Chains A and B, each alone.
Chain A
């Protein structure tokens, strides 16, 4: 979890993004491009989750209303969160590379994997029970 100074620094990054390009030394362009591709991969993950949210609502019409809505909202929310985190992580990696620091460690991938696994399990149970009952 980010402490107070970390939070303040993040907010500062958000409201004065120009300064990222001013501090430290410009890294090898290949590192920046690799960082960009990682960002894009996270955006695709986020878009896939958002698409999954739409798909749950459209392609599982036999589910009870609130179950379907809950699953769809959960997927859409996780997708929005993943995309916000993608840009935050990209900025932080870019800044760490300019300063020559270690890349930021993150527990987001683990949490996301657990949440998606849990949602998939829920969906499986709900669909199988729906077919059976």
Chain B
């Protein structure tokens, strides 16, 4: 359809012209990708010295961390799908941080 006749069903002026919710959603997506890369490197590190019960436990922990981050990001992405989203909650922020700290702690543990 040509853009000259906007239908009344489209959401018009309520949308933020600076596209802040969209930008924030994309920021969550970028961060999820970063978390995925870090997790993949962690899994690679865990399987570095062969498959043992300890390395499998480490891989399971990595999977858990990644799923936790994915859940937080997904919930926030859904919450951002409005014209005026609410602010991020402390629990979501803390979970995202806990994922990064867990990966770092796991990394230190796997070095020794």
Interface residues of A (CB under 8 A from B): 17-18, 20-21, 26, 29-30, 32-34, 36-37, 39-41, 43-44, 46-48, 50-51, 53-55, 57-58, 69, 72-73, 76-77, 79-80, 83-84, 86-87, 90-91, 94
Count of A-B contacts judged by CB separation below 8 Å: 115
Are the CB atoms of A76 and B107 closer together than 8 Å? Answer: yes
Known: A72-B111, A80-B105. A36 touches B34 (CB 8 A): no
Contacting pair A32 B44 (CB below 8 A): no
Residues of A within 8 A of B96 (CB): 40, 43, 83, 87
- Band of interface residues on B: 35 or more
Question: Does A43 lie within 8 Å of B97, measured CB to CB?
Answer: yes
Question: B78 on the interface (CB 8 Å rule)?
Answer: no
Contact present for A86 and B97 (CB under 8 Å): yes
What residues of chain A lie closer than 8 Å to B70, measured between beta carbons? none
Contacts of B86 in A (CB 8 A): 29
Complex: chain A residue closest to B46, CB-CB: A54
Smallest beta-carbon distance A126→chain B, Å: 17
Besides the contacts A21-B87, A33-B23, A91-B93, what 19 more A-B pairs have beta carbons closer than 8 Å? A17-B90, A30-B16, A32-B87, A40-B31, A43-B96, A47-B38, A47-B100, A47-B103, A48-B38, A50-B100, A55-B41, A57-B107, A76-B107, A77-B104, A77-B108, A79-B100, A80-B100, A80-B101, A90-B93
